[in-house]
Amino acid sequence: MNKTRFLIVLLSGSLFLGAACGGNEQPSAQDVVDEARETAEAADERTEGIQEAGEDVAEGAQDVAEDVADGQDSNKVDLDVVETKVEGDTAVLTMKVGVVTIVAANGDTSGKSGHFHVFIDREALKEGETIPKEDGIVHSADNPIRIPGLSSGEHELTVVLGDGNHSRIRGDLEATAAVTIS
């Protein structure tokens, strides 16, 4: 017996017992049927709501599974240049970065926070190496990153992450952009 039919039988029995035990009004058979039908409809609506909620949960779980399979899980750090603009002699790079919080150099070496280092027309240092403050390297916690004073011509900009002590972190991540200054 399905749940809806069980509820109808239970409700019908309750109404009958109530009437038999001295209730002031005896419900008619039609009243019992109508009440049972309303109860069954309400139960069906709740069941549909539960089924829809279950489907939403299943879809969300499927999305997470696909993201993990694609390597897009919540623990993956992304580093990408999403937009490059040139304003006079300044390149402007808008970055996408995940998990690592971008902050000014603050001494934190946990790997949970860091800032950008842009190598201009030169190879980036390896993970763990200290990134110096010198010409050809821009240190920035700003997003977008502004790289001013570029000479005319083509430039390759390589962006890496450094921790609060300017040591390169996440050596597997590197984003590059090519810009041409007129």
Give the DSSP letter string of 24-83: SSPPPHHHHHHHHHHHHHHHHHHHHHHHHHHHHHHHHHHHHHHHHHTT--TTPPPEEEEE
Q: Compute the distance between CA of residue 158 and CA of residue 178 in angstroms, rounded to an integer.
A: 9
Domain end (from 35, 69, 103)? 69
Q: Identify the bridge partners of residue 153 per DSSP, sorted by sequence position.
A: 181
54 and 103 assigned to the same domain: no
Report the largest interatomic distance among the alpha carbons of the chain, rounded to a whole angstrom: 100
For residue 96, what pLDDT is reported?
93
What are the pLDDT digits (tens) for 30-89? 877 788 788 778 777 877 777 776 676 666 666 566 655 554 444 556 899 999 999 999
Q: Are residues 61 and 149 in the same domain?
A: no
Q: Which residues make Cβ contacts (< 8 Å) with residue 48, sequence separation at least 6?
A: none
Boundary of a domain, candidates 28, 44, 69: 69
Domain residues for 43?
3-69
Which string of DSSP letters, residue by residue, matches 129-143?
A: PBPP-STTEEEE--S
Q: Which two tokens stand for residue 62?
A: 């499927």
The reply to whether 83 and 103 lie within a common domain is yes
Asked if pLDDT for residue 1 goes beyond 80, the answer is no
Q: Tens digit of pLDDT for each residue in 7-24?
A: 555 555 555 555 445 555
How many structural domains comprise the chain? 2
What is the reported pLDDT for 73? 43
Does residue 74 lie within any of the structural domains?
A: no
**Cβ–Cβ under 8 Å, residues 72 and 99:** no
Q: What is the pLDDT of residue 34?
A: 83
Query: In terms of domains, do 93 and 139 share one?
Result: yes
Instruction: Please write the tens of the pLDDT for every residue from 168-178.
Output: 998 889 999 99
Residue 72 has a pLDDT of 45
Q: What is the mean pLDDT of residues 98-103?
A: 88
pLDDT band at 158 (very low <50, low <70, confident <90, very high): very high
Asked if 170 and 100 touch (Cβ cutoff 8 Å), the reply is yes
* Position 92 confidence tier, pLDDT thresholds 50, 70, 90: very high
CB 81 within 8 Å of CB 118: no
pLDDT for position 128 = 93
Q: Is residue 167 part of a domain?
A: yes
Spatial CB neighbours of 74, under 8 Å, sequence gap ≥ 6: 99
Q: Show which of 43, 69, 95 is a domain's final residue.
A: 69
